Structure 1
Amino acid sequence: MINRVVLVGRLTADPELRYTPSGIASCKFRVAVNRTFKGQNGEQEADFISCVAWRKQAENLANFMKKGNLIGLEGRIQTGSYEGQDGKRVYTTDVVADSIQFLEPRNSAGSSQSTPNYQSSTNTGGTYQNPPQGNYGGNNNQPSYTRVDEDPFAHSKGPIEVSEDDLPF
């Protein structure tokens, strides 16, 4: 069975950090993820997805990110239920984050007009206009990224030598 979720979106509110009675950090947050199509009225539609992070990841998210910040996360869907105040059963669906990446600088306003576009890519040589501020809970040895407007091969003459040791296959 496979239960994996990958999301890139903006925080809909400041993350809520709490601690369990045994002292484990927990952070609930929602991510607005744009749909790939426009609605009937021509406006961009989005899904608002409930998520939760635990431990150091939760503390980092609450300490460094705020409403409007762009994040990427990988995790799994978890469903549950509880009895509401009116005695009826309430069903929940959350994404439990295993890895969270901050995809823009901490001081960014989070507005789509002033925010550069980022590609969330760790293994395919994707480019960032600015490096992410953190990668928590995942693989921290990502390749270094070059700016979009800097071509590392712009001034090379002739073919580029590549050793067999540099090939991933």
Structure 2
Amino acid sequence: MGVNRVILLGRVGADPEIQYFEGNSRARARFRFATTEHYRDKQGNRQEQTEWHTVVFWGSICRVIEQHVRKGQQLYIEGRIRYRQWVDEQQQKHYATEIAGDTFHFVGGSPRPGGVEGANPSAGVQGGMPEGSQGGMQLNEADGSYVLPNGEAFPF
């Protein structure tokens, strides 16, 4: 038995690339994702280290990503690490490390236009539908938050 679990909190590096396969019955969303850690060096100067990840989601969740995820947006992502290798037409071996996304949550505000971040509640997405969507949850286009059917906001 083993555990392969990845948790990332960071920002979308480019608008997601969405591809449809098998007559639009299967979808894949792929995007670059940056996680940045801050620390102090021996001299006490603040430093930062940014790691770039390739995140891939499959299935109906891709429609939510296509409509609502944009470059600069802060997300919380859960998934699994995947390693791939292949040989191209010139017989060159290639390797890729990707995060196979399972779920994600919107964090903070809308994408940062000019580096300004808004303050709206988080909304979670799993398996292609926003949490609680069975009750008819609606997206508030003004700030990117989700509103419950009775008009209440999320309690967090």
TM-score in terms of structure 1 length? 0.66
Cα offset, 1:55, TM superposition:
1.4
2-structure distance, mates of 1:73, 1:21: 27
2-structure distance, mates of 1:144, 1:131: 8
Q: Which has the higher strand share?
A: 2
Structure-2 residue corresponding to 1:95: 99
Q: How is 1:15-94 mapped onto 2 (pairs within 5 angstroms)?
A: 15-21=16-22, 23-37=25-39, 43-94=47-98
Equivalent of 1:137 in 119, 126, 134 = 126
Q: Call closer, same or farther: CA 1:39–1:91 in 2, change over 3 Å.
A: farther
Q: Call closer, same or farther: CA 1:26–1:104 in 2, change over 3 Å.
A: same
Q: Call closer, same or farther: CA 1:86–1:8 in 2, change over 3 Å.
A: same
C-alpha RMSD over aligned residues: 2.6
3-state DSSP of counterpart to 1:67: coil
Cα offset, 1:109, TM superposition:
3.8
Structure-2 residue corresponding to 1:11: 12
Amino acid at match of 1:64: H
3-state DSSP of counterpart to 1:59: helix
Per mean C-alpha deviation after superposition, the further-off stretch among 38-47 and 23-32 is 38-47
3-state DSSP of counterpart to 2:60: helix
1-structure distance, mates of 2:17, 2:53: 15
Cα offset, 1:59, TM superposition:
1.5
- 1:7 and 1:74 in contact (8 A); partners too: yes
1-structure distance, mates of 2:46, 2:89: 39
Structure-2 residue corresponding to 1:154: none
Greater gyration radius: 1
Unmatched segments (≥5 aa) in structure 1: 117-128, 146-169
Amino acid at match of 2:78: E
Q: Call closer, same or farther: CA 1:112–1:47 in 2, change over 3 Å.
A: farther
Cα offset, 1:111, TM superposition:
5.5
TM-score in terms of structure 2 length? 0.71
Unmatched segments (≥5 aa) in structure 2: 133-153
**What whole-Å deviation, never above 9, does each CA across 1:107-147 have from its counterpart, x for those lacking one?**
x242685226xxxxxxxxxxxx5212x31116936x722xx
Amino acid at match of 1:140: E
2-structure distance, mates of 1:11, 1:39: 27
Amino acid at match of 2:131: N
3-state DSSP of counterpart to 1:63: helix
